[in-house]
Amino acid sequence: AQSVTQLDSQVPVFEEAPVELRCNYSSSVSVYLFWYVQYPNQGLQLLLKYLSGSTLVKGINGFEAEFNKSQTSFHLRKPSVHISDTAEYFCAVSRGSGGGADGLTFGKGTHLIIQP
């Protein structure tokens, strides 16, 4: 079974400052890794994903994440945040079986608060 830990439940950041949202996972098998964003009263939108290959993954809206296998981490970063980035961010893993849509295991989420 997999598990995901998002170390910060809430991260306040000033506008135009950089931000890092931390995610650590635990799994006995290879995994796929994802970051999703959820805006108020909406579903989840995929920001980026790591399946294999380059450990630095670039996503939408200027976000990127780096997969670190030795530290079992997949931290999300953005060099300069905007007010519109205020949302809940979820890190998720799925079994990297390559053969099907196994359920995603989510972290508890990090609420990113952008302060003007």
Partner 1 sequence: KAGVTQTPRYLIKTRGQQVTLSCSPISGHRSVSWYQQTPGQGLQFLFEYFSETQRNKGNFPGRFSGRQFSNSRSEMNVSTLELGDSALYLCASSLRGTLFVGEQFFGPGTRLTVL
103 or 116: CB nearest partner 1? 103
Q: Are 77 and 19 in contact (CB under 8 A)?
A: yes
Q: Contact between 40 and partner 1 (CB under 8 A)?
A: no
Q: Are 96 and 55 in contact (CB under 8 A)?
A: no
Strands (E), 1-116: 3-5, 10-14, 19-21, 24-26, 31-38, 44-50, 56-58, 64-68, 73-78, 87-95, 105-106, 110-115
Please pick, from the candidates 44, 62, 66, 111, the single residue that binds partner 1 as defined by CB under 8 A. Answer: 44
Please pick, from the candidates 34, 35, 63, 74, the single residue that binds partner 1 as defined by CB under 8 A. Answer: 34
Q: Contact between 99 and partner 1 (CB under 8 A)?
A: yes
DSSP state of 102: P
Please pick, from the candidates 28, 53, 54, 101, the single residue that binds partner 1 as defined by CB under 8 A. Answer: 101
Residues that bind partner 1 (CB under 8 A): 32, 34, 36, 41-46, 49, 51, 90, 92, 94, 96, 98-109
